[in-house]
Amino acid sequence: MKSIQHHISWSIFAVISAYLLICGGLFLRYIHYKSLREFDLTLEAQMKAMISLVELEGRMIDIDFFTDIMPEFLQKGRYFNFYLPDGTLIAQSPSSQGIALPVLADDKAVSFQDWDSEKLGKVRVVQTKFEPRREHIEVLTEEEKAEEAALLPGNGSAIYEIEYVLPDDVEVEGLWLTAVVARDRQPLASQIQQLTFSFLLLGMVLLAGIFLLTRFLVRRGLKSLRELNLQIKKIEPTDAENKINLPFAPGELVEIEHALNMLLERVQATLIREKSFSTHVSHELRTPVAELKLIAEMGGKYPGDEQEVLRYFSEVQQISTRMEMLVNRLLILSRAEQGGGVDVCERFELGGFLSDCISGREFEELTCQWDEELEVVSDPALLKILLQNLLYNAANHRVPGSPFFCRMTQRNAEVCLQFENEVDVFTQSDLARISEPFWQKDPSRTSGEHFGLGLSIVRNLCMLLGVEVTYILPDEHHFLVELRFPKADEDRAE
Amino acid sequence: MKVLIIEDSSSLQHALTHGLQRCGYTVESAMDGEEGFLFARHHRFDVIILDLLLPGMDGLTLLKKLRALGNQTHVLILSAKDQVSDRVEGLRLGADDYLVKPFSFEELHARIATLVRRGHQNKNPDLHMGQLRINTFEKQAYLYDQVLKLTPGEYAILERLALSPGQVFSKEQLATFLQNSENEAGSKVVEVLVCTLRKKLGSESARVVTRRGFGYFLEKQ
């Protein structure tokens, strides 16, 4: 199972790591470039210094340098070579040990290259072409001689002198030489390696720190989520007071908290409704069961009382019929609540259909009023149950002996069907509860013939059939039910 | 013993009346709360069996009004409401017992007998008068441990006298323990029943004594 904390921590870590790796790589390359550049500049400077020591005296090339100023050319690690244009080596540093440095074939003013030599190892080579300085014989004053002497190194300095006489076939005018200076690359490689290692170490420490920090921050950020989880686990559906409370939750979770509390309220309302329904069912069944149990007990205890026993049998039949009615009503309600859609949709004439529903029933005080033939599109089986429930409701709950009415009209292309009956006293608060299962105006349910399920069935059937139902109290002694059928178009019938 | 049943289910009411009458109780019944209240207010009963969901006036209102009038009759609530809150509410308003439907008749009978005994501050269902023993639960009298065959009327008078030994009851008072709405008993009936009861009791254990001009009382031998 994926955890948000795990996912977010690793995602952030991976992104930061990749970013650091790229930045680190680029930085290392930059460092490498800068180091090499500096190395090359130093090498070039040394080469220029060496070039400044080369003099052409007639046909002789003279190179003098003080060993204490440039001691590096005496030991292994720094090398120089000078070549004639035809490639003849004319001079080299003592450190070169007779090994000729390579001459590059390009025409750049200054060229660099790496050279791997078996004897000298890996070296960096710089090369340039130059015209040697021609020596001028100057007559110096005493003061100038003293100044020059002051510039020269002191006692103990040795002059390394190289002299080369140009062959006869070499033209002195316009002569140019090639200077090649090399330096061991090892110090540069070590420096770069050390820098890389330090940088990698720093990167790893940084990444570990970032990882721990990320985990900590994400964990802290998800604290409200864990709190939410704990609170949800503690919620008992039976406790109506239970609510989720996250005082320091971030904005996103506040919305979830609100949505969950709304859901809890709906769940609790459903549970209360279901509990109330179960209580009503058990209550409705308790009385007939008590009657049956007592009758059976009395019949068994006094079997000789023939008249009583016969009466008991008759009562058992009546009670069982009532129970059967209750079970049937509950089944209809259950099916209507489950819904599942309307199977059959037919176009038919409502007046005739209503007459069929009424025929065979004893509704002597019923007055039906409609002027024209109006058609509706509906499921006839379900509509029949709906209309019969409304007819029975009007007939059974009216003031005994009073007339009741069924009217049909057309209003804005809608077919409107009304049932109206007189009632003893009915209030708006009664109207609000009229569709609740088992609700009855008389809580004693003395008659035992009504269960308060009729209008619950009506409500659910209306929802199934798409019929709008409205309960109206024109005054406190009249009760009116209005059904509005949707327009009967051809498509719906098909 | 007189019992008033206030119950709107005719089947339950009829079967209860039948069963309790067969147990020796004098039974009155009412179908709605208002009728039951009038019965309870104007007649003396040992126990009232009261349903809660009644037309006219609900059981709890009836109970509240009875207690407000100072009526001390024992009330047993017999209801399909089984929630603890319903029972607590019933007992809090002055009911002496609460039985949930469906119930066993034997249990109901036992509870009624307990309430009757409690009314006479007697926890023992057996009343002893020398060699005479009356079991108020079984509604049976024993003399020298032999069953004494008594009619329901004779037993009713004997039990009433035995529950308050030495207390004088007028013929009219005793008649109220015999009568019900359908079958009114008069003082002559009481005289006849007392006469036959005396014969069955003999004179060795307890006897029914007449105080002229006042009535009867039971005397230990």
pLDDT band at B12 (very low <50, low <70, confident <90, very high): very high
Strands (E), A17-166: 54-57, 60-66, 78-83, 89-92, 110-117, 121-130, 133-134, 159-165
Here the tokens at position B60 are: 């709890």
Q: Are the beta carbons of B12 and A294 separated by less than 8 Å? A: yes
Q: Which residues of A touch B53 (CB under 8 A)?
A: 443-445
Residue of B210, B166, B164 whose CA lies nearest to B187: B210
Determine how many CB atoms are found less than 10 A away from the CB of residue A372: 8
- B164 and B89 both lie in a single domain: no
Q: Which residues of B touch A305 (CB under 8 A)?
A: 18
**CA B60 to CA A426: how far, in whole Å?**
23
- B88 and B44 both lie in a single domain: yes
Q: For chain B, list residues whose CB is within 8 angstroms of any CB belonging to chain A.
A: 8-9, 11-12, 14-16, 18-19, 22, 31-32, 53-55, 58, 80-83, 100-106
CATH number, domain of A310, equals 1.10.287
What is the least distance, in Å, from the CA of B99 to any CA of chain A? Answer: 11
A280 touches chain B (CB under 8 A): no
What is the least distance, in Å, from the CA of A440 to any CA of chain B? Answer: 12
Q: Are the beta carbons of B102 and A448 separated by less than 8 Å? A: no
* Complex prediction ipTM: 0.71
Nearest CB among A290, A319, A443 relative to B101 is that of A290
pLDDT (0 to 100) of residue A463: 86
A311 touches chain B (CB under 8 A): yes
pLDDT at position B168 over 80: yes
pLDDT (0 to 100) of residue B202: 80
How many structural domains comprise chain A?
4
The residue range of the domain holding B215 is 126-220
pLDDT (0 to 100) of residue B204: 67
Between β-strands A366-369 and A404-411, what pairing exists: parallel, antiparallel or unpaired? parallel
pLDDT in tens, A368-405: 887 777 888 888 888 888 888 888 888 888 888 888 88
In terms of CA atoms, which chain A residue is nearest residue B102?
A290
- A211 and A159 both lie in a single domain: no
Angle at B69 between CA B63 and CA B74, to 5 degrees: 50
Type of residue at B118: R
pLDDT in tens, A451-471: 788 888 888 888 888 888 998
Nearest CB among A301, A302, A444 relative to B55 is that of A444
Type of residue at A260: L
A69 touches chain B (CB under 8 A): no
What is the least distance, in Å, from the CA of B189 to any CA of chain A? Answer: 25
- A384 and A440 both lie in a single domain: yes
- B155 and B207 both lie in a single domain: yes
pLDDT, averaged in runs of 10, over chain A (494 residues): 79 88 90 90 90 87 78 84 89 85 82 88 91 72 71 59 85 88 89 88 90 87 85 76 79 86 84 78 84 91 86 90 85 78 77 83 79 82 88 85 88 86 83 81 68 85 88 86 77 50
What is the least distance, in Å, from the CA of B137 to any CA of chain A? Answer: 16
A266 touches chain B (CB under 8 A): no
Q: Which residues of B touch A445 (CB under 8 A)?
A: 53
pLDDT (0 to 100) of residue A150: 65
pLDDT band at B220 (very low <50, low <70, confident <90, very high): low
Q: Residue A216 contacts by C-beta under 8 Å, 6 or more apart in sequence?
A: none
Task: Assess if residue A242 is contained within a domain.
Answer: no
CATH number, domain of A464, equals 3.30.565.10
CB A425 within 8 A of CB A398: no
The residue range of the domain holding A2 is 1-52+189-221
* Of the residues A309, A335, A361, the one at which a domain ends: A335
Type of residue at A150: A
A275 touches chain B (CB under 8 A): no
How many structural domains comprise chain B?
2
pLDDT in tens, B80-132: 888 888 899 999 999 999 999 999 999 999 999 889 888 777 767 788 888 88
pLDDT (0 to 100) of residue A494: 46
CB A163 within 8 A of CB A62: yes
Task: Assess if residue A238 is contained within a domain.
Answer: no
CB B27 within 8 A of CB B54: no
Residue of A50, A52, A55, A47 whose CA lies nearest to A166: A55
B177-181: long-range pairs with CB below 8 Å, 24+: B177/B1, B177/B2, B177/B26, B178/B26, B178/B153, B179/B26, B180/B26, B180/B27, B180/B28, B181/B28
- A26 and A154 both lie in a single domain: no
In terms of CA atoms, which chain A residue is nearest residue B7?
A446
